[in-house]
Structure 1
């Protein structure tokens, strides 16, 4: 039994680092044999309010129009050109003392159409070089296999993850990656934020709304197919290299009851169960009763195929999650299917995301109590408007305050007995926003001189937070 007195804070082997996604920083969207992916049609809309700049459902017509659009602004196509600048960018990140770096492999660089017979060697070679450079800079790579980069061909000529064929396409893709990189990549996340099937649902699942009769049912069928594919891929990974560890990832989207009224507490509990659902399947290996009740009550017919129940027993080795904000729910909001809303006790960033450091400690304890699997915090950060001063400085004290308070709560969770293995600050270098496709929503320790329309020098400038995070890592979380 572990002696509680031996737990002083972050363990000596704790992994400090940062996380990005290929589609938000690489650019070079038509280079190296890459095909179209869903991120390539994420349009920037500067003419609408900040809080409404998010990706929406798409029809086949919407997709085709975006592909033909020569006037709209699609920032993820060029992003910050990490594709050509990754060596220098990784050197800057390593300068903070990073122990680890999380990025994704763009599916459409490896299988441009998703259903190709053979992988694209140019794409494989790019990630060979990128992973080697990560390791060369002293960082443990954590690779996400699917991070909103599903090939568009799988949405137009199939039905995204709703199509059963996508399981085999994904498993083939995973097997190629595991065989190619498994000797140098230990940690993998198969699907980014697998519970986001309402927000980011098209980017995640690739279902054109006009291709299905019941979109909600299609989403849950799609995520069932996705979890089956992940279980198959996990089994293959362990057969290829028993040292590889496969993780599953949630977006922490659990809400607080708005009041102590029993009906609000119960409705919130029910709502939260369907956020835990994905982890319950992927970490326990079976569908929980509350989910079956949810499908029945909502007349959703989720099909299990022969072998699905058995393959789901191949569970993930660790759980990970992103944490940005919390919200509240009550019986009325859940009934209306507007399941959560803003907490009046919390301040928020300009995009309306509530700032709740204590909620991170709560989440860590809840996940540990529920699953007893090692945990990585694979995204945490705050989007802010940063100002580049005339003297070349960026004073981001609000970001330092946000991250400092959240890291302090991770330490408290470790003292609570939670097995936290790693912390990844989201967007350690400024990248294109996932939800709003804008550059001005910045998360990084490194400023990138580009605006929402891609104008600027592209120069990298160290913010105050860069030097602060360097001290955090050097002190193993003691100096905040």
Structure 2
């Protein structure tokens, strides 16, 4: 009889994750092109629930200009481009087994539609990937993490245009040919179910039915993922190509049948993304959703074959919070959800629900049996204080991470094939949604403020030493 696994398995990939557009900087190096991230200014947003900022529709190209007097933090990041050896050394000190970061599409194909890649940009990644491996970590690379070349938005209209599938396939082919012997794990798109401008690059004034445009763009991203998997096939198992979700499964507000049905249907449209990518076809419930919302997706017969024959190899997910769906208050819009009154919140208003992680991991495991699962983002954003002696005391972060690791262990005992955990983030980086620095997730403090001022020096937080012990004990010492 099989026995429950009450421990993290040997070979479990402990580590951390960042994104090039939030950490690298060096935006004038290597003949890099401008990406959409380079146009995100810091505006000192008063509403700390920055999830609303991230979902804002960009209506026209007026957003894609550099305004005099504004600071654009993602152009500078935390200078990982020049300091990656130092940062990777600190990660090795913590004992990282894996490190997730991303390629910057605009550094390798500055405009996105060139016939040949930018060799100077590739040489940077040669150095970075060699260094990750030399520090004893498995590179876990995201091919696109919110850094689409802005040229593809202005000339082609972003992922609404099918031409991007071919451009992206050429980009993937360049990466696979160069790094197939060095990188085993590849995520194609960061959080493919978050259909924001950051991901799709679709401007509101270019779409009569914006929801239809979003799902057409998503369809093109599905094709791009399938093309990537098809290209990876010639490397005979050296490459594993996976999908990544932002975990947005929700609870029903009550056990009223109306709430249960409403929640089921909203959760279905979160499962929609991995259903297509892991099962290889569009589910029936999606066609009903499209019909009810006047959405007409153009799908070629060849598209169906491509998706069917090229399912993703693994499922990865970010997990930060949970919400509830209330049929009396919420609509079918993906981000229109209500707050769970039983949960505490971070100072940015993000609900804290470690048990929800176990619940959702079980949902995914039951729905996609045998598919390996990785948590590729999970962390606690807070204002940290650097003491005069260089210490940073962050017990709130330690408690948050500890409670989630406990629930991961419970999920493994439930039979979930969880293979790795990359917390967000090893060191402080620029916030994706609000472009601020004061919302810090790192285990390493970076001396830099919202306007880019500071020494840039790195300091180990208390959570650094805690996570070091967690990894050393393979999750036994919490």
TM-score category by the smaller chain? Answer: over 0.9
1:353 and 2:350 matched? yes
Corresponding residue number in structure 2 for 1:459: 457
Measured against aligned partners, the alpha-carbon deviations of 1:221-261 in whole angstroms (never above 9, x if no partner) come to: 00001001110110111223422111100000011001000
After the TM superposition, which segments of 4 or more aligned residues of structure 1 sit over 4 Å from their partners? Answer: none
* 3-state DSSP of counterpart to 1:4: coil
RMSD of Structure 2 on Structure 1 (CA): 1.2
Question: 2 CA distance for matches of 1:342 and 1:8?
Answer: 32
Partner of 1:60: 60
Residue of structure 1 aligned with 2:203, choices 184, 205, 208:
208
Gaps of 5+ in 1: none
Contact 1:159 1:207 (8 Å CA) reproduced? yes
Match of 2:275 among 277, 280, 288: 280
Offset, 1:47:
4.6
Tell me the residue number matched to 1:254.
Answer: 249
Taking structure 2 as the reference length, what is the TM-score of the superposition?
0.97
Corresponding residue for residue 365 of structure 1: 362
Counting only pairs closer than 5 Å after superposition, residues 35-434 of structure 1 correspond to structure 2 as 35-52=33-50, 54-55=53-54, 56-64=56-64, 66-67=65-66, 69-197=67-195, 201-313=196-308, 314-335=310-331, 337=333, 339-372=336-369, 373-434=371-432
* Aligned match for 1:442, one of 440, 443, 468: 440
Counterpart position of 1:475: 473
Question: Secondary structure of 1:103's match?
Answer: strand
Q: State the 1:60 CA deviation.
A: 3.3
Unpaired segments ≥5 residues, structure 2 = none
- Are the equivalent residues in 2 in contact too, given 1:471–1:479 (CA < 8 A)? yes
Asked if the contact 2:58–2:204 (Cα under 8 Å) also holds between the matched residues in 1, the reply is yes
Deviation at 1:211, TM superposition (A): 1.5
1:35-66, Cα deviation, whole Å (9 max, x unpaired) = 010110112111532124723222333234x3
Q: Give, in whole Å, the separation in 1 of the partners of 2:459 and 2:239.
A: 36
TM-score by length of 1: 0.97
Q: Distance in 1 between matches of 2:162 and 2:449?
A: 40
Number of the residue aligned with 2:3: 4
Deviation at 1:336, TM superposition (A): 6.6
Q: Secondary structure at the match of 2:94?
A: coil
* SS in structure 2 at match of 1:343: coil
Contact 2:249 2:270 in 1 (8 A): yes
What is the alpha-carbon distance in structure 2 between the residues aligned to residue 142 and residue 442 of structure 1? 22
- Within 2, Cα distance between the matches of 1:350 and 1:339? 21
The Cα shift of 1:4 comes to 1.3
Judge which range, 36-45 or 125-134, deviates more. Answer: 36-45
State whether residues 384 and 441 of structure 1, in contact with CA within 8 Å, keep that contact through their aligned partners in structure 2.
yes
Contact kept in structure 2, 1:182 and 1:241, CA below 8 Å: no
Contact (CA 8 Å) 2:266, 2:332: kept in 1 or not? no
SS in 1 for 2:74: helix
* Counterpart Cα distance in 1 of 2:112 and 2:372: 32
Deviations along 1:382-403, one digit per CA (max 9) or x if unpaired, are 1011000111110000000000
The answer to whether the Cα contact below 8 Å between 2:61 and 2:154 also exists between their aligned partners in 1 is no
Rounded to whole Å, the distance in 2 between the matches of 1:418 and 1:11 is 12
Q: Which SS does the other structure have where 1:310 is aligned? A: helix
Alignment size in residue pairs: 473
